[in-house]
Structure 1
């Protein structure tokens, strides 16, 4: 039974290695973050807050993380329950909810500061290859977002 549709071979697809690699990287992150009790999406949220200059609105966090509010809100609630952030209404605009780090959220940064290095060691990629892959994926995300496709928050 010859393959009359070689373009449909699994090994020729871009989507499959992206999907499998994303699942694998998420699994490694889960192992690295288990000690501090964070999930991978929670870690990404904390990274966004650590790199911000002050509080971020839930909308800004959603844009930064490419998550819709239906996904982000429960994540923020769990981080707030863990004591890492607080949410409050923006006094200048009551429609906006701001998320800001608590002292515990700030100190958590030290606990996970070795995660990027440990991840790099787990991936087995040279630093240049990892940087080139990140740059290619960033370009892919930008291309998808510019055409209104996947990668942006739902409803954007």
Structure 2
């Protein structure tokens, strides 16, 4: 906690404050989900499955923004825990679709309540009505950030003047 307070007190940039707030909220949600032996990533996956029904892993990976390897590991863990199952697609038996099991469908609403309690605690702080404005602002920041170049543009380079080989 001392690290977080130092970051907040040192006039950190917006990105650092957003990351800190996200980290703290995610940590609280992980703790709330711990009694169900489910991580936040697994919970997100189950929540997406609930709304999608039977879905191929590649489609689910895109939906929850995970690479196929990470999704596979999460699905394997949830499958072993009896929360998710793989079944052949009814229309094309070569395809495997993912479904919530009865156990997963039963425990998901309880986990939703646990996660919502965290959100409610955050929304009921002195921020109050500003939460809506902050959320709108963060969506705008995310949209602009998604348009940023991943490589900085330093313009034309003359490596010879820098004394280095290209």
- Is TM (by shorter chain) over 0.5? yes
- CA separation of 1:86 and 1:138: change in aligned 2, threshold 3 A: farther
In structure 1, C-alpha distance between the alignment counterparts of 2:107 and 2:94, rounded to whole Å: 29
Q: Residues 59 and 69 of structure 1 are in contact (CA less than 8 Å); yes or no, is this contact kept in structure 2?
A: yes
Equivalent in the alignment of 1:114: 113
- CA separation of 1:114 and 1:62: change in aligned 2, threshold 3 A: same
Residue 137 of structure 1: how far off its partner (Å): 3.0
SS in 2 for 1:113: helix
- CA separation of 1:93 and 1:46: change in aligned 2, threshold 3 A: same
List, as ranges, runs of 4+ consecutive aligned residues in structure 1 with deviation greater than 2 Å: 88-97, 120-149
**Structure 1, unaligned stretches of length 5 or more?**
1-9, 150-156
Summarize deviations over 1:59-114 as a string: whole Å, max 9, x none. Answer: 22111211111111101111111111112343545675321111111101232232
In structure 1, C-alpha distance between the alignment counterparts of 2:69 and 2:149, rounded to whole Å: 19
Equivalent in the alignment of 1:129: 130
Q: For the aligned residues, what is the CA RMSD?
A: 2.6
Q: Residues 36 and 111 of structure 1 are in contact (CA less than 8 Å); yes or no, is this contact kept in structure 2?
A: no
Equivalent residue pairs, number: 139
Higher relative contact order (CA 8 A, sep 6+): 1
**Structure 2, unaligned stretches of length 5 or more?**
1-9, 151-166
Equivalent in the alignment of 1:99: 98
Larger radius of gyration: 2
Quick check: 17-26 or 73-82, which moved more? 17-26
- CA separation of 1:134 and 1:12: change in aligned 2, threshold 3 A: same
In structure 2, C-alpha distance between the alignment counterparts of 1:137 and 1:96, rounded to whole Å: 38
In structure 2, C-alpha distance between the alignment counterparts of 1:148 and 1:73, rounded to whole Å: 30
